[in-house]
A and B are shown apart, each in its own frame.
Chain A
């Protein structure tokens, strides 16, 4: 059978949903970050698939930039997590609720 673009898009959708559920469910901040990475990957897959279908390089270009920015984001995010987690061993996302009203 021919694998059309829709299949790739469907896969991306499923991957995205799994990542979303993971983000909402897990408490360990690093694991939450990994779920974010899953979602980003799903998006990348979507971009590339659509770029291939439309015969345009724009999809891959976008993925390129997403990749770069995701890397920068991971750097900064992990820096923050390090800064917070050092203070308290085994802190989870639920402990960071000082901004609550």
Chain B
């Protein structure tokens, strides 16, 4: 039973991830992300981390992604990205290499190696069962790790203040971004027109739309 749930969740997670990777429309990508997050939440439940699963759904899927969608809609960056062209030379192959090697090596390490990664026996607090999880988590947090909690609270406050400052509208005419044709100036000539043309295409479309 557990295996079935695991495989189903794994499938959901992976399809969602691939979906984020390949969707052209950022709104689609956000929705695929929600799918992945749900799958991960299920996996959390499987591991008896019920509180975290709930938090995952509420905070991550429920708030962060919504925030993403807000920004997408606000800025109107929901134009489809041209996935066909890659302006930076060698980026795709290198990305493929990195991804493949990372995956390969990690899997090898995890599955095949005899003395794979192990941790020392944990010392924080004993893990309870699913029902107990919230209480135990709360106890551990607010006794042993209360300092960290306070720091994260401070961090959140700072983040909020920072975000407000960053994103406020400044009165006055909008200055355009500096156009620096440096990105591919050292690359061969065929890629030179890349970002500018892509940007111009998008801005033209934006301007035209």
Interface residues of A (CB under 8 A from B): 1-3, 6-11, 13-22, 24-31, 33-35, 37-38, 41, 44-45, 48-52, 54-61, 63-65, 67-76, 78-92, 94-98, 100
Q: Are A28 and B106 in contact (CB under 8 A)?
A: no
Complexed CA–CA distance, A25 and B90 (Å): 11
Q: Are B206 and A10 in contact (CB under 8 A)?
A: no
Complexed CA–CA distance, A18 and B13 (Å): 11
What is the interface size of chain B, counting residues whose CB is below 8 A from a CB of the partner? 105
Contact of B37 among A41, A59, A63, A85 (CB under 8 A): A41
Contact with A along B118-157 (1 / 0, CB 8 A): 0101111111000001001100110001001000100110
* Given A10-B111, A45-B43, A48-B49; A18-B99 close (CB under 8 Å): yes
- Nearest Cβ on chain B to A20's Cβ, whole angstroms: 6
Q: Which residue of A lies closest to B18 (CB)?
A: A18
Contact of A79 among B3, B137, B167 (CB under 8 A): B167
Q: Are B125 and A37 in contact (CB under 8 A)?
A: no
Within 8 A of A (CB), among B64-82: 64, 67-68, 71-72, 74-77, 79, 81
* Given A13-B106, A45-B43, A72-B155; A82-B194 close (CB under 8 Å): no
* Given A8-B43, A17-B106; A58-B124 close (CB under 8 Å): yes
Q: 24 interchain pairs (CB within 8 A)?
A: A3-B2, A27-B81, A30-B68, A34-B20, A37-B60, A51-B47, A52-B127, A55-B122, A57-B122, A58-B125, A60-B51, A60-B133, A65-B148, A69-B152, A70-B60, A71-B64, A81-B75, A82-B75, A87-B175, A88-B177, A89-B76, A90-B205, A94-B88, A95-B195
Contact of B152 among A37, A55, A65 (CB under 8 A): A65
Contact of B176 among A27, A35, A87 (CB under 8 A): A87
Q: Are B76 and A57 in contact (CB under 8 A)?
A: no
- Nearest Cβ on chain B to A32's Cβ, whole angstroms: 10
- Nearest Cβ on chain B to A21's Cβ, whole angstroms: 4
